[in-house]
Amino acid sequence: MIRAISYLGGILIEHLRWIQGVLLLFFHTLYWFFVGPFLGKASRRQNIFQQMVFVGLNSIVIVFFVDLFTGIVLGMQSAYLLQKMGAELYISSLVSISLCRELSPVLTALVVAGRAGSSIAAELGTMKVTEQIEALETMAIHPVRFLVVPRFFALLVMVPALTILGDLSGIFGGFLVGTGSLDISSDLYMQVTFNYLELKDIYTGLLKAIVFGVIIALVSCYEGLNAKGGAEGVGRATTRSVVISFILIIVADCIVTSIFYFFDR
């Protein structure tokens, strides 16, 4: 019994330390973020844009196809039920609202966490175990400003941008099903889509995307900066960053959805 309590207490303390470390990293990142990530040498600004290209432009293809096929599948699954009720016309609004409010932000965040988040954790973890971060500190270069803020800024901007791309590609996927399989005219399909799709549906998804971007940035950078144990430790940090990001994205999605649900009632 004592061993079990001691084991559970150790796990609890470990998780509390992890939460404390992430919160401290968040506050330090906010400080350097508002002090001015674009101030200083041109190399710093170039670093930020390089991270934006890495996170955003290099993820466009996979985000496009993931959301496109999700829209197609959602359209076909909706058609199976709505055709029985003679309401197949409303597939367009169901697909668009589901994608903008829920599916596109979550799927985009999961893709970015798996692709960019894991790479960030591996890169920073390699710098940590090879003592490159300590070398930056000896040169009076703050690791958070030099390494974390550019990645934080890139994810904060590019995850919502990719979410918008996901919204459009997913709606296009539903459009292909509606016009190709259900013989709905393209004009009527788009008219029904935008009659029921409201701005708050889009804003809800974008707010979620911002939250997800912050989560991916903090978790990936924290795990990378705290990697230890050589190549094996870098692998563990990379795996932890992806798994934890996935879990926190789903939890945050539930919380934000609950907030909007109760405010919309």
Give the per-residue pLDDT at 5: 72
At residue 131, does pLDDT exceed 70? yes
At residue 11, does pLDDT exceed 80? no
Give the per-residue pLDDT at 20: 87
pLDDT digits (tens, 9 = 90+) for 149-197: 889 999 999 999 999 999 999 999 988 888 887 777 888 888 888 888 8
Token pair recorded at residue 126: 């390699």
Identify whether 25 is part of a domain.
Answer: no
The pLDDT of 231-241, averaged and rounded, is 88
At residue 217, does pLDDT exceed 90? yes
Identify whether 1 is part of a domain.
Answer: no
At residue 261, does pLDDT exceed 80? no
Token pair recorded at residue 250: 């789903």
Identify whether 32 is part of a domain.
Answer: no
The pLDDT of 206-224, averaged and rounded, is 93
The pLDDT of 122-151, averaged and rounded, is 84
pLDDT digits (tens, 9 = 90+) for 29-74: 888 887 765 555 555 667 788 888 888 888 899 999 999 999 999 8
Give the per-residue pLDDT at 214: 94
Give the per-residue pLDDT at 82: 75
Give the per-residue pLDDT at 42: 55
Instruction: Find the length of the chain.
Output: 265
Q: Do 195 and 91 form a contact (C-beta atoms < 8 A)?
A: no
Average pLDDT, the chain: 85
Give the per-residue pLDDT at 78: 81
Identify whether 222 is part of a domain.
Answer: yes
Q: How confident is the model at residue 212 (pLDDT cuts 50, 70, 90)?
A: very high
Domain that holds residue 204: 49-264
At residue 26, does pLDDT exceed 80? yes
Q: Do 245 and 117 form a contact (C-beta atoms < 8 A)?
A: yes
For the ranges 11-20, 88-97, 251-260, the maximum mean pLDDT occurs at 251-260
Identify whether 8 is part of a domain.
Answer: no
Gap between the Cα atoms of 181 and 150, Å rounded: 45
Identify whether 134 is part of a domain.
Answer: yes
CB atoms within 10 A of CB 182: 17
Q: What is the pTM of this model?
A: 0.89
Q: How confident is the model at residue 231 (pLDDT cuts 50, 70, 90)?
A: confident
Residue 30 vs residues 71, 130, 150, 232: alpha-carbon distances, Å: 36, 27, 12, 31
Identify whether 40 is part of a domain.
Answer: no
DSSP letter, residue 119:
H
Identify whether 232 is part of a domain.
Answer: yes
CA proximity to 196, closest of 124, 100, 59: 100
Number of structural domains the chain divides into: 1
Q: Name the residue with higher pLDDT: 173 or 2.
A: 173
The pLDDT of 98-121, averaged and rounded, is 92
The separation between CA 25 and the C-alpha centre of its own chain, rounded to angstroms, equals 18
Gap between the Cα atoms of 44 and 32, Å rounded: 13
